[in-house]
Structure 1
Amino acid sequence: MADHIQKIVTKLPGLKSVTDVWKTADRWLAQGDSAFLTDLGIALAGAYGSDAGRTWQYRSVFDYLLRLLATTPGPGNVAEALRLVSSTETADRKLDRYAASLLASSQPVEELAVAFTGHASEELRACLVHELVLRGADVTKTPGIAGWATSPHWTHHPLGWLPLALSDVEGQPDLPSYSARGGSHSMPFGPSANREMRAGTGGCVPSVEETTTDAATKGIGTAVANWAEESNGRIEARVFDLAAPLEAESVPSMLLGLGLECLKGAGKKTSFSVAACPPDNAWRVLFAAASMGGAYNSGAGGAYGRLAAWKSLAGLSGTAEGAPAEEVEACARECAWYGFGADTKWFERVAWDIGLTSVSPERRRLAVLAATDTD
């Protein structure tokens, strides 16, 4: 077996196609030898991991090996997938997040308990807990997982802030499906969704004062930050205080009068639309943007995507920084939420467009998040 692995490692950079290597992995796994895939992946990482940016063959084969192990039910496959991502040659926080998503999407929850006793980093375990929560698993009662998930030792971890069960506002999140050769996910945003909205522009509009701070901009934009940092995206996140309560029928006119970059030219010859939406829809859009990313990146994954969606929801609803998730949800439910869109030059109108605004319960604070990305 060692000679076979070394032969693959040596020839890999010269291959014009890696499908034969994929087929080799398929055969070994079908024979019940998942350890071969792990040993091959570790050997490839040792040889080419530091030059992964230029060795496309390595990236393709390593990803296939991990996907094949993580998405194929069978004795030992989970343990071998964990050994692969936990080896010295491959250990990486981003890889941990990716592996947690793959495993949670494809393996029975009872099979994943091995992650909390065997080869796995604390980062992978934290991500796996919340990837399972997103899929409806009761991690507080699952043997082998409950002890770790409910232990106070990881409360310092960023994901320790998240509740260990889905809240009502999270509903049934849009989650990716994976196979060895690819994956798919839905996109609850974009120009087609915006064009379905209809609204007038009448009503009395109170005077406003912009109160946007750097902290507010960062908090509100957390869910879409990856679009700007890792892709071609633009973000506009702003907050306004209103001199008088804002009536629902005045929201379209209010938005047009705020001087938003994303709405320059809207409402004249350029179409503009607004529609009320529940906070559940807002969270769904934020989670998809954070977890699955924009045009040129793959997002933060389910666990960190969940955290980012909550942070944006908190910023938009005006919840105090550091407040528990229960308080964020309660505040968000008291707000009035709207989705908006426009055929302005600011929006790319490809597939990644978001327009969200929230109005506080007393109707004297308005927060806006707009985001767009293109390939």
Structure 2
Amino acid sequence: MVDQIDETVRSLRNLKHLHQGESEKVIRWVRGESARRLADGDPGYLGDLGIALLACHRDEPKAWQYQDIFDHLLRLLIGDAGKGDLGQALRLIGAARHSGHDVDRVAAALLAANRRRVSLTAVFAEDGSTAGVSDTFRACVVHELVLREGTISRRKTIADWAASPAMRNQPLGWLPLHLAPFELDGDQWPHATRPDRVATVSPDVLASWPATDLITPELSQALSAPVMNWVEDSNGRVETGVFGLAEPVRPQSVPEVLAGLGMDFLEPVDGPFRLDVHDTSVWDVWQTLFRAASGGGAYSRGCHGAYSRLFAWQALAALAGASANSPHDEVARSAQACTWHRFDGELPGFFRIFWDIGLVGVRPGGGSIAVLAATDTD
């Protein structure tokens, strides 16, 4: 088998000397051979090949083919067709972690998607069979399941691990082990009863609303967490703001207040512009944040379910005025007590292609608001 692995690795290494058609042919052959080996009962071939590819990728980090085939092997072993091998999959997940190739999030999402065909309790076994996998990976599996099943209370082995110090020491350990009401079906949330408010904003209105800038680096980081993949891996821009207002904001004055805060996204290019403000619900806000993180931007791949849930909760807490260390039930109460709006229109800061987000949270009493604006483009 060693000779066959070496031959396959050489064929992939030589792709840089081939034209596109020949390269695609090699990739198809490697994928097909891997699927055939698995179907013939030889999952060890996929595990050995995957580990060899990790070494190649470490030596040639810019060579795309190694990660491409490794990810394909992982998908086969996790069992997209119900015929994978969890033992070899866990072997690759552990080896990838030690090689600096982070597959925890995607592997957890794949396992949860195949949960009806794979015994996930093996991931949490304490018999040494999963010694190579990380607690981060296990925590991701927990919350991928929460997203799909609403709770993990019916999975005792997994629920026991989720209650352990290992889970509490993870960033994901802050999240609830059940879905909050605003993470469920949106039909329960009332639609706007007031008409949308539209304002044509003149330049002399900007930066004229009396307000105190309350943003901190920690708040900005939490607010922008769902869209940082847009910024870091694509062409995205993000702006955040938290403001204390001299007098409470009324629903009908949200457009003028928003335009008067001096945010760069609303800085006019040449003359007046149109700003549309729409009433919305906490459910819609959470869904927007979660989709931004999980779906990615124009060129980013997204963060998968578990960490997308974390980033959406962090941003929601910051928008609602809850402390970053607040219990999740307190965050939920704060979010449900806010008045929520989204904004769009012919705005100078938006690319107006597809990836535009404008969210406003008005805290109870109207004395402070938080704003998240983000955009991306191809």
Residue 151 (1) aligns with residue 149 (2): no
- Asked if the contact 1:290/1:309 (under 8 Å) is kept, the reply is yes
Q: Distance in 1 between matches of 2:150 and 2:214?
A: 41
Counting only pairs closer than 5 Å after superposition, residues 79-90 of structure 1 correspond to structure 2 as 79-87=87-95
Q: Which runs of 4+ in 1 moved over 6 A?
A: none
Q: Distance in 1 between matches of 2:66 and 2:283?
A: 41
> In 2 relative to 1, CA 160–345 (structure 1 residues): closer, same or farther, beyond 3 Å?
same
Residue 190 of structure 2 aligns with which residue? Answer: none
> In 2 relative to 1, CA 166–33 (structure 1 residues): closer, same or farther, beyond 3 Å?
same
Q: Distance in 1 between matches of 2:104 and 2:323?
A: 31
Q: Displacement of 1:40 after TM fit?
A: 1.2
Q: Distance in 2 between matches of 1:218 and 1:138?
A: 28
Residue 199 of structure 1 aligns with which residue? Answer: 197
> Which secondary structure state, in structure 1, belongs to the residue aligned with residue 197 of structure 2?
coil
> Which secondary structure state, in structure 2, belongs to the residue aligned with residue 353 of structure 1?
strand
What whole-Å deviation, never above 9, does each CA across 1:253-273 have from its counterpart, x for those lacking one? Answer: 221222221122399653321
Residue 164 of structure 1 aligns with which residue? Answer: 177
Q: Distance in 2 between matches of 1:332 and 1:215?
A: 18
Specify the code of the residue in structure 2 equivalent to 1:271.
R
Q: Distance in 2 between matches of 1:280 and 1:167?
A: 10
Q: Distance in 2 between matches of 1:218 and 1:76?
A: 39
Specify the code of the residue in structure 2 equivalent to 1:4.
Q
Residue 292 of structure 2 aligns with which residue? Answer: 289
Residue 99 of structure 1 aligns with which residue? Answer: 107
Match of 1:340 among 325, 343, 347: 343
The percent of aligned pairs where both chains have the same amino acid is 41
> In 2 relative to 1, CA 266–247 (structure 1 residues): closer, same or farther, beyond 3 Å?
farther
Residue 22 of structure 1 aligns with which residue? Answer: 31
- Asked if the contact 2:214/2:242 (under 8 Å) is kept, the reply is yes
- Asked if the contact 1:42/1:89 (under 8 Å) is kept, the reply is no
> Which secondary structure state, in structure 1, belongs to the residue aligned with residue 235 of structure 2?
coil
Q: TM-score, normalised by structure 2?
A: 0.85
Q: Displacement of 1:364 after TM fit?
A: 0.8
> Which secondary structure state, in structure 2, belongs to the residue aligned with residue 345 of structure 1?
coil
Residue 184 of structure 1 aligns with which residue? Answer: none
Counting only pairs closer than 5 Å after superposition, residues 27-42 of structure 1 correspond to structure 2 as 27-42=36-51
Residue 186 of structure 1 aligns with which residue? Answer: none
Q: Displacement of 1:144 after TM fit?
A: 3.0
Match of 2:331 among 319, 328, 331: 328
Residue 57 of structure 1 aligns with which residue? Answer: 65
- Asked if the contact 2:82/2:117 (under 8 Å) is kept, the reply is no
Q: Distance in 2 between matches of 1:109 and 1:93?
A: 26
> In 2 relative to 1, CA 208–138 (structure 1 residues): closer, same or farther, beyond 3 Å?
closer
Q: Displacement of 1:213 after TM fit?
A: 2.5
- Aligned-pair RMSD on alpha carbons? 2.5
> In 2 relative to 1, CA 267–128 (structure 1 residues): closer, same or farther, beyond 3 Å?
farther
Specify the code of the residue in structure 2 equivalent to 1:129.
V
Q: Distance in 1 between matches of 2:268 and 2:196?
A: 18
Specify the code of the residue in structure 2 equivalent to 1:304.
Y
Aligned pair count? Answer: 349
Match of 1:121 among 134, 141, 145: 134
Match of 1:226 among 212, 215, 229: 229
What whole-Å deviation, never above 9, does each CA across 1:262-320 have from its counterpart, x for those lacking one? Answer: 12239965332110110111111111222332222223221111111111111111112
Q: Displacement of 1:28 after TM fit?
A: 1.4
- Asked if the contact 2:275/2:346 (under 8 Å) is kept, the reply is yes
Q: Distance in 2 between matches of 1:10 and 1:287?
A: 41
Residue 86 of structure 2 aligns with which residue? Answer: 78
Q: TM-score, normalised by structure 1?
A: 0.86
Give ranges in structure 2 of 5+ residues lacking alignment.
Answer: 16-22, 187-194, 201-207
Specify the code of the residue in structure 2 equivalent to 1:62.
F
Residue 10 of structure 1 aligns with which residue? Answer: 10
